[in-house]
Copies of this chain bind each other. A is one copy, B any other.
Amino acid sequence: MNRKDGRAPDELRKVRITLDYIKHAEGSCLIEFGDTKVICTASIEEKVPPFLRGTGQGWITAEYSMLPRATAQRTVREAAKGKLTGRTQEIQRLIGRSLRSAVDLTFLGETTVWIDCDVIQADGGTRTASITGAFVALYRALQKVEKLNAIKSFVAAVSVGIVDGEFLLDLNYEEDSVAEVDMNIVMNDKNEFVEIQGTAEGKAFNRSELNRLLDLGEKGIKELIEIQRKTLGVEE
């Protein structure tokens, strides 16, 4: 059975990565998962947070935001509200952890890489697109400052879920909003898990259902890492 947008259940949306999208940033791209579009930048700062000073080790931290009209209904700016929502904080912590898992921080020296993921149009999967695009921006920035040796692995992320009993890869907004189970998977290029976050929205899931979701995720991640490689011109 195919989906509303014609995809097979195990098919990613069309993924496009426009490299070097923002001229000022050390690394940047515009990543599109279908109608979800995120500007990812990586900025190099030659200092580290207090807890790392004097250790010779670097840090990677991430921020995430959505433009107010990235969504079908305009959302109020967090800057206007004066605080970040829990959702935003959760996502930016996830992006940061995922990228740090791909890097040997001791090779950075006392350098912070600031990752910014700004969603300009949202249609589901903004956090997985952000991680996938942020890795590209990070790679590009480290290339520029000649610290590619710090990269331990490629990292990408994708969502999977159960919708109406169907097991689907890379949910768009419409699918996501009715999913019974929703899972975000972050993996590296060695087919290992970096993060798994699965939530039973409507009904709990058993071990065999979990395994089918993980299979779908693995397939999607492999394809995404392939696209990252092509964009960056890096052979396996």
Contacts and interface: CB of A to CB of B under 8 A. Distances in A.
Interface of A: 22-25, 28, 35, 39, 41, 43, 45, 63, 65, 67-72, 74, 77-80, 82-90, 92-93, 97, 101, 114, 116, 118, 120-121, 153, 183, 187-188, 190-200, 204-207, 210, 214
A74 to B, nearest CB: 4
A39 B153 CA distance: 34
B193 A74 contact: no
16 contacts: A22-B120, A25-B69, A28-B69, A39-B120, A43-B69, A45-B74, A65-B77, A79-B79, A84-B86, A85-B89, A118-B120, A153-B204, A192-B200, A192-B205, A193-B200, A194-B199
A153 B203 CA distance: 11
B194 A200 contact: yes
Contacts of A28: 69
A24 B72 contact: yes
Contacts of A35: 23
A206 to B, nearest CB: 5
A45 to B, nearest CB: 7
B67 A116 contact: yes
How many copies altogether? Answer: 6
Task: Classify the interface of chain A: helix, strand, loop or mixed.
Answer: mixed
A232 B223 CA distance: 40
A24 B63 CA distance: 23
Given A22-B70, A74-B116, A195-B200, 11 more contacts: A63-B68, A65-B79, A68-B116, A79-B88, A80-B84, A82-B83, A84-B86, A86-B86, A90-B90, A188-B204, A197-B198
A207 B198 contact: no
Contacts of A204: 101, 153, 187-188, 190, 192-194
Given A22-B120, A204-B188, A93 B86 contact: yes
Nearest to A206: B192
B68 A114 contact: yes
A177 B97 CA distance: 15
